Amino acid sequence: MLGNGCGHTLLGTESGTLASQNYPGTYPNNILCKWRLRVPESQTLRLLFGDFDIESSPDCSNGSLVITDRNGVRLLGPVCGKFDATQKNMTLKTNEVTVTFKSGLHRSGRGFLLSYATDQYPDLVSCLQRGSHFNSPLFSVYCPAGCKNVTGDVSGNSEQGYRDTSVLCKSAVHAGATADGLGGRITVTRERSLTLYESTFANGILSKMGSLSEKKLLFSQECNNILTVSALNASSFWNKNGQEHRVFWSSRGTDSELPIWAADSNDLKPWVELELSERSKITGIITKGSSERYIESYILLYSKDRKNWKPYKSALSKERKLFQAYTDGHLRVLNSLFPSVVARFVRLQPVSWHGRASAQVQVLGCPVAKFTPTSPSARGSSQPIIVAVGVVLGLIMCGSCLLAGIWWNRSMFQSSAKKPQNMCVCVSIGCQTFQAKSLSTPCPQSQLISYPLERNVHDALPVPPLNDYALPAAAANGHKVRSTFRPSSDEDYTTPFTLSHYDIPGDLPEYAEPLPPEPEYATPFNEQPSESNPPTLTGILHSKTHGPPIQAAANGANAQYDCPSHRVLSNGYCTPALHANGPRPASAVYAEPKSCDSLLQKHTYEKPL
């Protein structure tokens, strides 16, 4: 930063804030200031103007702002006048720029307020952003460094909340949600408003009292509890009893449980020491004095073993940080630690005080886990071992599953192999017989299963039949249910009509006795017809499939044979005459039935069923 006209400036490594002199008042005449903004090499700059108001003039001679890169190439300007919302946000392709502001003779203009951050924070907000500018009940934004000393009101405190009209980033610094010298991301919750917001002093910012508003703001903080103090020690004590040098007590954070320490008036280098119940991460210190005696400022030391003490230093310097503990009548003061420290013993050394060094002290933070976190290198070295153990366990499990499957298949095979040992099957096929039985025990006759013979359609039926027929089932009315099985001879069945061996009465059982032994010949012809005059015979035409007989039309005028009336059937057939005592008449001619396969084999005759 160079020049005589620079205003508020805080330039951090990742973010920062700068403003013209006297902002938001009018900047002086004839001033010049240059700022060099720089972020890490691997990142680029993001610029956000919270306000820009430079008096407009021809060629911006009354005042202007110019932005150039490291090579002097102009990226913006010279510009003057006012920026609208679209011009306030800029993303550059470089990690380093120079901002130059100069003014001439002018009458108006507030100047400018500029914040910057790296491109890793696209949700960067200005130091002038208020909580009322957000409508979401929960939101998160990135606050730049340097908002603490920017003009803007803050109403409320970290415990009860802040009025939503408070400037957001400055309120976050007051609550200890972010550090002014570093900036950082904050998470805010909008809740129901309070009737009255109290004025408090915290982290160098004095908040104001505020009235009822639409919403209140609460900042999320993970490690911000009051820690338990197990013992207190001090350089000297001032009390009525006077001589005890060490006091023990246990407390969890209410003001009434904590004693107020006061040093002796002759103690020129007073200190007070607190021992926590366990090693903890310390994020803040709260001090509270009385109207007659209080600490104005102090330095902080911390230790893990009460032997080696370390002074607390600010994040941006290597010198001891001086904490402010009083301002304008505010006796209760919060000072947050950025960065936080891990310790069990905390010592406050007052630098200035009123009356005598005296304070009630509370420590904010959270206990540290008892186990030591593993370093990244140790975690990396253990990863191959974990992978190897996982592979071995996986192989063992796969092998176990495979062996279990083989054992199960083998047991199932053995059980299935044992089942047919007591089974006997006797199958007769023609003249061949196949018998399977147990080698240890012979098959009893009752276990033999007889199967019917395979025969040709033209083979003679066996006499007597070999097949056993099941008995027909009886219907509900007592009659036998119709079946294709032949009944046994001792059952009571009605003999069917003898007019037709094929017709079945509708209300009688469908069983009939076999046809009487008589010639299997068709009705004799009186004389053979000539080829020129086809006969109109009444006969049965056999088909290969042995289908139902096809009956030719019988014409009484053209009948070729004479049949006595007592032997004429209803279907047109004439029963043949039986000559038991002598030969058949020579005039009786019988037509032999011929097989469809007569060209391949001899004639065979089947007895009627």
Share of the chain above pLDDT 90, in %: 46
In this prediction, residue 250 carries a pLDDT of 43
In this prediction, residue 528 carries a pLDDT of 47
3-state secondary structure 381-396: HHHHHHHHHHHHHHHH
pLDDT in tens, 38-83: 999 989 999 999 999 999 999 898 999 999 999 889 999 899 999 9
Domain 131-219: give its CATH superfamily: LCCL-like domain (2.170.130.20)
pLDDT in tens, 448-471: 445 454 555 556 656 665 555 445
For residue 22, the surrounding DSSP H or E stretch is none
Q: Which fold has domain 225-367?
A: Jelly Rolls (2.60.120)
pLDDT at 602 over 90: no
In this prediction, residue 458 carries a pLDDT of 59
Q: What angle do CA 176, 179, 181 make, to 5 degrees?
A: 155
Asked if 448 and 426 count as a contact pair (C-beta separation under 8 A), the reply is: yes
Distance of alpha carbon 575 from alpha carbon 59, whole angstroms? 141
Label residue 510 exposed, middle or buried (CB < 10 Å: 0-12, 13-18, 19+). Answer: middle
In this prediction, residue 287 carries a pLDDT of 95
- Assessment of whether the complete model's pTM goes beyond 0.85: no
Share of the chain above pLDDT 70, in %: 62
In this prediction, residue 260 carries a pLDDT of 87
**In the predicted model, what is the mean pLDDT of residues 256-271?**
83
Coil vs helix vs strand at 206: strand
DSSP structure string for 551-604:
PPPP-GGG--S---GGGB-TTS-BPPPP-SSSPPPTT-B-PPP--TTTTTS---
Pairing of strands 332-354, 201-202: parallel
Pick the residue with more confidence: 123 or 4?
Answer: 123
Pick the residue with more confidence: 8 or 474?
Answer: 8
Q: Give 402's pLDDT tier (boundaries 50, 70, 90).
A: confident
Pairing of strands 229-234, 272-288: antiparallel
Q: Note whether 2-118 and 225-367 share their fold.
A: yes
Q: Terminal CA-to-CA distance of the chain, rounded, Å? A: 128
pLDDT in tens, 87-114: 899 999 999 999 999 999 988 899 999 9
Asked if 247 and 275 count as a contact pair (C-beta separation under 8 A), the reply is: no
Domain 2-118: give its CATH superfamily: Spermadhesin, CUB domain (2.60.120.290)
Domains of the chain by residue range = 2-118, 131-219, 225-367
Distance of alpha carbon 352 from alpha carbon 298, whole angstroms? 7
> Other C-beta atoms within 10 Å of 50: how many?
22
Place of tokens 């306030």: 88
In this prediction, residue 596 carries a pLDDT of 47
pLDDT at 569 over 90: no
**In the predicted model, what is the mean pLDDT of residues 216-224?**
92
Distance of alpha carbon 69 from alpha carbon 73, whole angstroms? 5
Q: What are phi and psi of 218, to 5 degrees?
A: -125, 135
In this prediction, residue 545 carries a pLDDT of 40
